[in-house]
């Protein structure tokens, strides 16, 4: 029996907004044929169900026979998509463009070649304006087909003009495909690898990236060619932890959208993603003023355009906005203040559960755990770290999984669960070794916990100082810096040495830096 996690129709209905449901019901209430009534009954039943259950469906809709269920579901799914297409064609320029192509095909089939060409000319102009290169190519090829098969008495030199357009678009498509593939593969590398762990990782990433770059110069590129080039470059420098170069390319990405303001609205997902990456760059370069400015711009864009967001855009906006909000608490050391946002964040994660991927959930849980740890609530931090440890996600973001286990050990150490720490050290060491992610920072922390679990306060304070000194030396290694991106272990050690909360240490560092600026 299908369940709620795999039944496509059930999942589609659960993602519908009130406006989308109303639009669908109005469309079917016009005729009220027997088949329409059955569709609406099935729709209403699925809409009210918490979990998908076929036996319950058949009881609630007695006119629906078991052998009919599969076909009726398939037809209902198709009608829902038709209704959604009609509803969103005014909001989505690509849907509207494709509809123009359909109209041109209908006119062509009726032998109205000039009318068809007129529709195609208008659609082509829209496609170029919106940088929809693939659709522009499809339109040009359709124009070529009409001109080659029929006498249309169109403009002189029409063949040469269409041939030149076709050739130019082919070059763009080839480059866009190459660069989008490169961007995707760099993202895949990051999900698998995280930040470069050593010289070998860095050389592998550099070699791959440089071998995949296209010969076409940046100045000759179209909008989406540049976007994918900037995206790929962002991932490249992010993996290498070159955050200054990462910042430069995120800024280029955002600035490109500012050069094409209409595309901020026709491709909102990509624009919001650009803003998210710029915020991340400001976070890692500790530029608090620019971070606050960029966060205000993201919030303003979401507030102004939120009503026009598709569900996908709404989910992206949620992920990026809340990630930035948490990062601001980290940047300023206001962890306790950030805890007020956790219930709201948990609710939003639940609201987007059908659309948000496990990677985002993993990152949110880790950031929430860090908020609790930073505020001194180690018990709550452990709750969220346990959620990460219990996620069945294989090697996805193995770096965060490893650091979650280290933080889990430290939180238990803070709670003086020494026997549990002693027990957990072996399993954590085994997990990290299995993922080949045991850097010098992790080794030092593991050795410290193993050696000083039961140390007296005076001996422990000296041990904290020694560990801090060793880690400060290690932090100069470019490939060990990644450990401090996930966990500000030095600030924690300073808090233990000075006998003050860790968030006070981080906040003091932030305020001192602000004064110097």
Instruction: Please give the full DSSP string across 300-357, using - where no structure is assigned.
Output: HHHHHHGGG--HHHHHHHHHHHHHHHHHHHHHHT-HHHHGGGHHHHHHHHHHTTTTS-
Domain edge (last residue) among 88, 117, 146: 88
Q: Are 278 and 294 in contact (CB under 8 A)?
A: yes
In tens, the pLDDT along 378-428 reads: 999 999 999 999 988 877 788 888 889 999 999 999 999 999 998 999 889
> Is 404 part of any domain?
no
Instruction: Specify the range with the lowest mean pLDDT, choosing from 107-121, 152-166, 259-273, 476-490.
Output: 152-166
Residue 425 CB: number of other CB atoms within 10 A?
16
pLDDT at 35: 66
C-alpha–C-alpha distance, residues 181 and 186, integer Å: 9
Query: 2 falls in which pLDDT band (50, 70, 90)?
Result: very low
pLDDT at 348: 93
In tens, the pLDDT along 225-245 reads: 999 999 999 999 999 999 999
Q: Which of 26, 30, 3, 29 is CA-nearest to residue 14?
A: 3
Q: Is it the case that residue 15 has pLDDT exceeding 50?
A: yes
Domain match, 79 and 104 both: no
Domain edge (last residue) among 88, 109, 129: 88
Q: Is it the case that residue 30 has pLDDT exceeding 80?
A: no
C-alpha–C-alpha distance, residues 434 and 203, integer Å: 22
pLDDT at 191: 82
pLDDT at 3: 47
C-alpha–C-alpha distance, residues 320 and 146, integer Å: 46
Residue with tokens 């398939």: 74
> Is 143 part of any domain?
yes
Domain match, 113 and 131 both: yes
> Is 134 part of any domain?
yes
Q: How far is CA 201 from CA 190, 205, 444, in A?
A: 11, 6, 22
Q: Are 452 and 422 in contact (CB under 8 A)?
A: no
pLDDT at 438: 66
Domain count for the chain: 2
Domain match, 43 and 15 both: yes
> Is 54 part of any domain?
yes
Q: Is it the case that residue 276 has pLDDT exceeding 60?
A: yes
In tens, the pLDDT along 288-324 reads: 999 999 999 999 999 999 988 888 899 999 999 999 9
Q: Which of 13-27, 373-387, 477-491 is modeled with the greatest confidence?
A: 373-387
Q: Given its phi and psi angles, is residue 153 left (phi above 0), alpha (psi -120 to 50 degrees) or beta?
A: left
- Domain containing 70 equals 8-88
pLDDT at 437: 65
Q: What is the Rg, in whole angstroms, of the alpha carbon atoms belonging to the chain?
A: 28
> Is 100 part of any domain?
yes
Domain match, 84 and 100 both: no
Domain match, 12 and 84 both: yes
Q: What is the mean pLDDT of the chain?
A: 90
pLDDT at 38: 83
Domain match, 68 and 32 both: yes
Domain match, 84 and 12 both: yes
In tens, the pLDDT along 50-75 reads: 889 999 999 999 988 889 899 999 99
> Is 106 part of any domain?
yes
Residue 279 CB: number of other CB atoms within 10 A?
27
The helix/strand/coil state of 364 is: helix
C-alpha–C-alpha distance, residues 186 and 425, integer Å: 33
In tens, the pLDDT along 428-449 reads: 988 888 877 668 888 898 889 8
Domain match, 58 and 44 both: yes
Range 114-136 average pLDDT: 94
> Is 240 part of any domain?
no
Range 352-367 average pLDDT: 89
Range 218-225 average pLDDT: 90
Q: Which two tokens stand for residue 344?
A: 């709201």
Range 81-107 average pLDDT: 91
pLDDT at 121: 95
DSSP of 410-453, one letter per residue?
A: HHHHHTT-HHHHHHHHHHHHHHHHHTT---HHHHHHHHHHHHHT
Question: Which one is predicted more confidently, 514 or 106?
Answer: 106
Q: How far is CA 306 from CA 253, 283, 302, in A?
A: 22, 25, 5
C-alpha–C-alpha distance, residues 195 and 206, integer Å: 13
Q: Is it the case that residue 1 has pLDDT exceeding 60?
A: no
> Is 123 part of any domain?
yes
pLDDT at 32: 61
Domain edge (last residue) among 154, 171, 201: 154
Domain match, 74 and 111 both: no
Range 256-266 average pLDDT: 93
Instruction: Specify the range with the lowest mean pLDDT, choosing from 154-158, 248-252, 502-506.
Output: 154-158
In tens, the pLDDT along 328-338 reads: 999 999 999 99
Question: Which one is predicted more confidently, 146 or 392?
Answer: 146
Q: Are 269 and 243 in contact (CB under 8 A)?
A: no
Query: 4 falls in which pLDDT band (50, 70, 90)?
Result: very low
pLDDT at 299: 97
Q: Given its phi and psi angles, is residue 445 left (phi above 0), alpha (psi -120 to 50 degrees) or beta?
A: alpha
Domain match, 19 and 82 both: yes
Q: Which of 79, 63, 84, 155 is CA-nearest to residue 114?
A: 155
């Amino acid at each position: 029996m299908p369940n709620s996690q795999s039944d496509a129709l059930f999942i589609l209905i659960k993602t519908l907004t009130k406006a989308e449901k109303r639009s669908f019901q109005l469309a079917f209430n016009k005729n009220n044929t027997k088949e329409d009534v059955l569709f609406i009954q099935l729709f209403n039943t699925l809409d009210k169900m918490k979990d998908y259950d076929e036996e319950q469906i058949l009881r609630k809709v007695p006119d629906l026979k078991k052998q009919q269920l599969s076909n009726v579901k398939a037809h209902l799914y198709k009608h829902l998509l038709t209704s959604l297409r009609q509803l969103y064609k005014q909001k989505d320029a690509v849907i509207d463009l494709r509809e123009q192509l359909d109209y041109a095909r209908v006119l062509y089939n009726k032998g109205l070649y000039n009318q068809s060409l007129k529709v195609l000319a208008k659609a082509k102009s829209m496609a170029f304006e919106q940088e929809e290169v693939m659709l522009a190519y499809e339109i040009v090829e359709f124009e070529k087909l009409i001109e080659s098969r029929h006498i249309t008495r169109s403009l002189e030199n029409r063949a040469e003009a269409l041939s030149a357009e076709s050739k130019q678009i082919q070059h763009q498509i080839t480059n866009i495909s190459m660069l989008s593939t490169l961007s995707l593969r760099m993202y895949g590398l990051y999900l698998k690898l995280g930040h470069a762990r050593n010289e070998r990782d860095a050389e592998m990433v550099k070699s791959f990236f440089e071998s995949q770059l296209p010969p076409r110069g940046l100045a000759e590129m179209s909008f989406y060619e540049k976007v994918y080039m900037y995206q790929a470059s962002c991932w490249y420098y992010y993996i290498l932890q070159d955050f200054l170069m990462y910042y430069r390319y995120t800024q280029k990405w955002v600035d490109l959208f500012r050069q094409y303001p209409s595309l901020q609205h026709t491709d909102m997902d990509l624009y919001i993603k650009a803003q998210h990456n710029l915020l991340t760059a400001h976070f890692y370069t500790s530029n608090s003023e620019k971070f606050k400015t960029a966060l205000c711009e993201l919030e303003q864009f979401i507030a102004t355009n939120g009503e026009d967001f598709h569900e996908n855009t709404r989910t992206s906006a949620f992920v990026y906005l809340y990630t930035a909000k948490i990062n601001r608490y980290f940047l300023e050391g206001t962890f306790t203040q950030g805890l007020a946002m956790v219930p709201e964040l948990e609710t939003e994660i639940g609201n987007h559960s059908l659309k948000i991927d496990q990677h985002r959930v993993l990152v949110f849980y880790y950031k929430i755990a860090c908020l609790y740890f930073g505020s001194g609530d180690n018990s709550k931090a452990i709750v969220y770290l346990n959620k990460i440890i219990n996620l069945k996600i294989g090697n996805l973001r193995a770096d965060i999984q490893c650091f979650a286990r280290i933080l889990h050990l430290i939180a238990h150490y803070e709670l003086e669960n020494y026997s549990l720490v002693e027990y957990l050290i072996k399993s954590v060491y085994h997990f990290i070794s299995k993922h080949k992610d045991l850097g010098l920072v992790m080794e030092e922390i593991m050795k410290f916990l193993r050696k000083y679990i039961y140390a007296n306060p005076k001996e422990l304070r000296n041990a904290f100082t020694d560990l801090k000194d060793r880690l400060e030396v290690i932090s100069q290694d470019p490939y060990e810096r990644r450990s401090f991106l996930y966990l500000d272990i030095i600030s924690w050690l300073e808090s233990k040495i000075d006998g003050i909360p860790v968030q006070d240490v981080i906040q003091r560092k932030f305020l001192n830096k602000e004064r110097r600026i």
